[in-house]
């Protein structure tokens, strides 16, 4: 879930045989990962933070022969449905009173980046949007962008 949020991953970009995260996409020395995007989005390289690297190293030690980063208990690539069910269980444990779905992680990433002050073009590149109109929805709910409006003595 951490990687889905921080890298704005669609569920199929995190798991699944088509685009799921693979160990050979990790560049340990460079502290980066290649993200293969779905739906015609632009793939690209993202930096990895210290906590992500620690968790990935622990996971790799548990799964030394796996091709994919996220696998089922049987050692097969995790399905998107399994992630959906896992997220539902986590939401219930957290006491959330809303129906949670995986794509919320991607949206949360976009809204978080906007609220941190990153510009729309940077967020577009990060999320792999080819058309900026898909990124603009995140800026529409950010009231902070109006704080510097000078109303003078009105």
Q: Is the per-residue pLDDT at 152 higher than 80?
A: yes
Task: Exactly one of 6, 7, 46, 129 is catalytic; name it.
Answer: 129
With cut-offs at 50, 70 and 90, classify the pLDDT of residue 55. Answer: very high
Q: Kindly indicate the confidence band of residue 94, based on its pLDDT and cuts at 50, 70 and 90.
A: very high
- Catalytic site residue from 39, 49, 67, 85: 39
Instruction: Please give the Cα distance from 45 to 23 (Å, whole number).
Output: 14
* pTM of the complete model: 0.86
User: What's the confidence (pLDDT) of residue 145?
Assistant: 76
For residues 135 and 124, the answer to whether their CB atoms sit within 8 Å is yes
Q: How far apart are CA 5 and CA 73, in angstroms?
A: 23
Decide if 10 is catalytic: yes
Catalytic one of 6, 7, 46, 106: 106
Mean pLDDT of all residues in 37-43 = 93
Confirm whether 138 is a catalytic residue. yes
Q: What is the mean pLDDT of residues 56-82?
A: 90
Q: Which of the four pLDDT bands, split at 50, 70 and 90, describes residue 32?
A: very high
Give the pLDDT of residue 137: 86
């Amino acid at each position: 879930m951490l990687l889905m949020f921080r890298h704005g991953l669609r569920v199929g970009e995190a798991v699944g045989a088509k685009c799921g995260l693979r160990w050979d996409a990790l560049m340990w020395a460079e502290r980066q990962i290649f993200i293969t995007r779905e739906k015609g989005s632009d793939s690209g390289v993202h930096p990895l933070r210290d906590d992500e690297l620690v968790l990935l190293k622990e996971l790799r030690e548990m799964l030394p022969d796996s091709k994919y980063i996220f696998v089922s208990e049987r050692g097969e690539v995790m399905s998107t449905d399994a992630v959906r069910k896992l997220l539902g269980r986590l939401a219930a444990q957290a006491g959330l009173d809303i129906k949670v779905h995986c794509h919320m992680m991607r949206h949360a990433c976009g809204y978080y980046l906007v609220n941190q002050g990153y510009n729309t073009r940077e967020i577009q590149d990060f999320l792999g949007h080819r058309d900026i109109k898909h990124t603009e929805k995140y800026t529409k709910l950010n009231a902070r962008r109006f704080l510097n409006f000078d109303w003078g003595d009105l």
